[in-house]
Structure 1
């Protein structure tokens, strides 16, 4: 087989890139190691920056998002049994965020790709990259018992943190930066109305909590748990009891419990690999970086990578200019490190760290007090939360 762009990974990053390329007339093939059902069933993030919403519109896949997405003008911080609203729209000159689950974004992109008739290979085994430091890279894989080879001009590595793409770069050609946090998020999805109309990030002496949602009838809740905690140790009843303890009384009273339709623990880490290019291989999304979910940046960072990579590939194939590909890594990383900083800061602001001494705990409380009492500090949070410009 021959194509212009081989996309490894059929998550939102790979699918979005494929959709943009296809609409621009640039040939592409997606290779995914998991099944389509597995990809569509993954429960992930749900807060979209304004820039990502605009990019989905450009890709022609925002119809259902615009009908069903929940536009939020603000976000709330909770601490010391009080609720404090950050007015995102007023503080950023009209920018907002939209609550729309990553699972729904993936569904929309899969349907759009099927409608265009673009090829995707799911359940691809033994995926391997070859000659990535030449102008004739190849991807080999197996579908069932049949061996396949895909010749291409460029490989887009959108296969996540554990994927094959980043591992295909020689160790001496890439540098990794990482911070692993001593806790995780125990998340629960429930078909009950949300506890509040906007997201609530709660700081409490027992640990962090988050009240989020996927729709007016479906809620997503999280609580901070130790790094080695097990899901099996938490019944639904125990989860909601602990969640209520960490929320202001007025919110705890409105929270409606119910049986979990999904429950899992996500470890927290900060990770960046740079550069995001080696030869004709270009990394995007979780293949190149991970952020703690506290700042709602993971999916949105993948979208900004795709914005930059699509622009670069369009220049390469349609304008016959290599400038965009040459600058892709530096351009993407400049925004990534700012988002990493924001997610690191939000994580430090809101969580309980076992190693912090009483002085550091008081500093954390002082920063929270300053944040909700200073329009300038609140504006800085709002600017980052709605998303820095591309």
Structure 2
């Protein structure tokens, strides 16, 4: 079932979850049947995904897909590199004349593609196990970048430093440079003073140059830092949703709409010329993007890393959005997911403790699925939303009568499930 449409691929996280389903008949491949009923495979090198397959309706057709990969994977001319949403992907083509690639893609079918990677060097590293010459022919590297085989990279544990610590460790060496420059300047004055009188003019020029260098270092050190909002990672094990912080709120006593104080509006650059405007500094959009950049999925505590979509609120008892801000936030999130095709999220709907628990759960489930539907309509791929579930009042924290607390309990939230 070859096609040039990427929609038939699952996101990479789905293939990585099946990495242990190694094929006995075809070493170097994993095979599995997804919950959607379709069959998939991936060409792998140890625990690294080289190529993903698209969906196959049955095992026999999947078998033919594997054979197509085996038939073409050693042919340099069968590969191509594309860039989508700022990510680089390696494609493998089959069909047409198998003895010579004509360059006309209409005569060939896409039979596999890699996971998205940030650079061409990473794509080159994918194929290093087939030999450096082969990898360099498929993905030429123009810069003198050292390429690390992906099998080694996949086994490394990435440790992310807290932003504050990174800043501290960056400033310290600069201060040392300033001290060194100042010390060197004093030494230079002494040395030049003792030189011959015929070169006396140097005793003025050299110290000035050194002091100028020290000044430039000092100026660079005092350059204004770019604000980085670190993702808030929940350690709470009693609640399914943890807000990034307890923001100030005002509650409309008539409509029940909650207005959160999320900081000043900013622009959010998604790359590839896409920019979101009017985004609250501490809102969901900024939180999501920063988590994608520097966050880490908690694979132990499944209840961690949930963040509230503060503007996605509903009319009481309905699946209708309470304000236009809800759909605008959904459009923003759809754009973020479109710009990050490897990201998969889960959605949760929640109510306060009032009313019938069973009805609350059904209502929250309908609301979560409405948000999922609207995200897909606004740029998110179907396979980027793993599930949308209503939890009703199961995780409500406020008691009856606590109007502000109950307002906080009525929410829609999301977490990153894969990226």
The interval holding the TM-score normalised by the smaller chain is under 0.3
Q: TM-score normalised to the size of structure 1?
A: 0.20
TM-score by length of 2: 0.18
